[in-house]
Each structure stands twice: as structure tokens, then as C-alpha cells.
Amino acid sequence: MALESCGKLHMTFLNTIIEFEGPIVDVEPRYWAAHQAAIQAVGFQGPPRSEFWRLWRTGAADSQFVRFGRPQKVIDYARMRAERIDSTDLMALDAAGPKVAENLRLLKQMGSCQLVSLSRNREGLNATLDRLDIWMHFDSKQCLPEDRDRRIDALRRLAGGMRVTLAVVGTVPMAYAAGEAGCRTVGLKNGPAVPKLLRQVGVDVFFESLDELTGALTTRHPDLQKIGLF
């Protein structure tokens, strides 16, 4: 959505919480590289790239990535993959989605824009935001706790008692926590989790991209009205 349209907005202050993985950056190259490093370390070849991403987005069990592997091999693979996903060097593979800076600027003009991530690597996250030159579009940046209840509490604090907080999500853990924290939750269809999985944790509204979402905010899209955003 073009910034020129911002003048057409007639809405109250909008508090937005947006997830880094999916809505902001395409993480598929990083996750694939982490998978390759882990699968080779345990002595397996693993699925091709397209199949890996399908398995990941549909929430497949770790054993499906290490076919015919013994349980300990699967455990080792999952541990190493998680470590590599969170590594600063692989976060350098993250690329911003189309018109991300423009749309983040617009969200901030609507009210406030809070960035959250499931990554534990705060240093790597900050380095990526600096490299992509989008750090200035966020009022706050936070790596969410691993513990589910503490993650929900963190999102409640970010909601700050606002009448309405919009959460833009790409992963199942974030979608679940945002719903439990009382946010109006919207998913993007091309993120790390397929819409079917997000629907299972309460997400009912989806858009193709962040650009499409900001356009929907401008026009007060019926789907956004349905979830009580306006």
C-alpha cells in the first residue's frame, strides 16, 4: 500500500505487534541452511529443499526429516537444527519481504509497532534489522520467552491495556500466544506455517502479504471488522 494513502485513514490509535519470522523476513533460506548443516552432521541426506519446506510449514515431526534414522539421531538433528536456525551467521540469509519498510512505516504512523521474535539471538536479530535498515520502524523489539505462559504474559504487556491490539503472525507458537493474550490476530499465507495450522490455534483472517494487510486496514476490510479490529 502506498504511503500517500495514509491521509485517507480514519481510525483510532492502532497498537500492532508483528512477528519477525514470516511477516517481516523470508526465513526459508535460513531454515534450509540450518537443516542441511544438521542433517549432514548426523550422516543423512534428508529431503530436497521443496519437500523440506513443505514438511516444515505443515508441522511435520522431526523424524520425517531424518527418514529411517534412529531416535537418538532424530534428537541430535533437531537440537543442531534449532541451534543453527538461531545462529547469527545464518540470520544473514534473511531477506525482507516486498515493500516491508514502506508498510512498517505506515503501521507506525497508525499508532505503534512492536516487533517480536521467537529467536533467542537478540544480537543476531538486531544485526539483521540494521542490515535491512528497518530497525527505526519499531517502537520496541523483543525476543519472546521460550516458556508458553511467559510468552503470553510478554504479549499482554506489549498490548499495554489497549482496547484493541493487532497481532500479525507467521508461526503457530506466536499465533497461539497472541490469541491467549487477547490480540486480534491476522496471519500471512506465505509464512513459516500454513494457514491450516494457524487456524487450529484461532487465526481466522489471512492476507497474502503485509502490503495487502495495510491496504485492508485502510479500507476497513470486512474480515478485519469481523474480528473486532474497528
**What tens digit of pLDDT does each residue of 36-64 get?**
999 999 999 999 999 999 999 999 999 99
List residues bridging with 26 in a β-sheet: 95
How far is CA 41 from each of CA 36, 206, 211, rounded to the nearest angstrom? 8, 37, 39
pLDDT band at 230 (very low <50, low <70, confident <90, very high): confident
Does residue 17 register a pLDDT over 80? yes
Question: What confidence tens digit (pLDDT) does each residue in 58-110 have?
Answer: 999 999 999 999 999 999 999 999 999 999 999 999 999 889 999 999 999 99
Does residue 6 register a pLDDT over 90? no
Handedness of CA 185, 190, 193, 197 (dihedral sign): positive
pLDDT recorded at residue 11: 55
Question: What confidence tens digit (pLDDT) does each residue in 113-159 have?
Answer: 999 999 999 999 999 999 999 999 999 999 999 999 999 999 999 99
The stretch 180-201 carries a mean pLDDT of 95
Q: Specify the CATH number for 3-27+97-226; select among 3.40.50.360, 3.20.20.70, 3.40.50.1000, 3.10.20.600.
A: 3.40.50.1000
Does residue 7 register a pLDDT over 50? no
Does residue 32 register a pLDDT over 50? yes
> Which of 96, 123, 116 minimizes the C-alpha distance to 157?
116
With 0-12 CB in 10 A as exposed, 13-18 as middle and 19+ as buried, what is 125?
buried
SS3 206: strand
Which residue spans within the chain are E strands per DSSP?
Answer: 14-19, 25-26, 95-96, 111-117, 140-143, 165-169, 184-188, 205-207
Does residue 16 register a pLDDT over 60? yes
